[in-house]
Homo-oligomer: A and B are copies of this chain.
Amino acid sequence: MSKWEINLIGKKPKLKNPVLIEGLPGIGNVGKISADFIIDEIKAKKLYDIFSYSFPHSVFVAENNLVELPSISIYYKKLKKNDLLILSGDVQPTDEESCYEFCEKILDIAKEYKCRQILTLGGIGLHSEPKQPKVYCTGNTKNSVKDFKNGFKVNEKLFGVVGPIIGVSGLLLGLAKRRNIEAVSLLAETSAHPIHIGIKGAKEIIEIINKKYSVGINLKELSKEVELIEKDTLKRTEQLGELSKISSIKKLGGKISGDYTDYIG
């Protein structure tokens, strides 16, 4: 195993200027929940598996009680109006140089498939999650952001609200600009607490993506799930995983540590 392994699963599909959507773990895991939910609902097909020595040196315990190396994958789906590539995974590279290297490899793939746009997803961590989380939109060119604002309730005035966008969700935007690929980011308000599942923020983001790219997902079950959470005071990831009907939330159960004193090694 070398430092980076990108394994193609099956044959390369012919995609028409797809949009690459990134949803890796981050604040409130808003991006990851959004990406995983969409992958499940549209039954996107796995295209690449990515392993790396720069991922955390640990294994997750999956729903089937067996262990899995941390991995990041790219899925694809040909929809009526748009083709999608979705980047989803368990981790982000652990050190800064590896994060740059990883983003460059993702951009190599985006170039290869002639992606017309990159959309990264993330959370803005506040003391507590608001009742109605706002969604901000930023990007690497004025046009790409203007394009997203159009018809959607997103706030583009991000300057001075918070500081830098850390990790893949930010770096992909900056490095994409150097390759003349337009990239935007949707960032939903959520709680900064380490094991918070930002499902309300994710719901706002999923609704925008669903409409923007005509994905065609039925969002009723997602809305019911959010109602359930608002009634309970469930914050613990594993409990939420047990109660949740949504597969992507359940899977999260084993990826995030529960009580900070419970750990294995």
- Please state the number of chain copies in the assembly: 4
C-beta contact mask, A167-182 vs B, less than 8 Å → 1, else 0?
1011101110110000
Residues of B within 8 A of A56 (CB): 96, 164, 166
Residues of chain A from 79 to 103 with CB closer than 8 A to chain B in the complex:
94, 96-97, 99-101
| A64 contacts partner chain B, Cβ-Cβ < 8 Å | yes
Q: Are A26 and B265 also in contact (CB < 8 A) when A57-B99, A65-B145, A171-B58 are?
A: yes
Q: Are A170 and B254 also in contact (CB < 8 A) when A1-B175, A96-B54 are?
A: no
| A234 contacts partner chain B, Cβ-Cβ < 8 Å | no
C-beta contact mask, A42-65 vs B, less than 8 Å → 1, else 0?
000000000001111111111111
Nearest-Cβ distance from residue A202 to partner chain B, whole angstroms: 15
Task: Decide: A58 and B165 in contact? CB cutoff 8 A.
Answer: yes
Residues of B within 8 A of A169 (CB): 264-265
Question: Which of A12-20, A33-41, A155-163, A218-226 interfaces with chain B?
Answer: A155-163
Q: In the complex, given contacts A124-B263, A169-B264, what are 14 additional A-B residue pairs having Cβ atoms less than 8 angstroms apart?
A: A27-B265, A57-B167, A58-B166, A58-B171, A66-B138, A66-B145, A67-B138, A67-B165, A69-B175, A124-B262, A161-B238, A163-B255, A164-B264, A166-B263
20 A/B residue pairs, CB under 8 Å, sorted by A: A1-B178, A27-B264, A53-B101, A54-B96, A58-B166, A58-B170, A58-B171, A59-B173, A60-B163, A63-B159, A65-B156, A68-B174, A69-B171, A125-B265, A160-B254, A162-B263, A164-B255, A164-B263, A166-B264, A169-B265
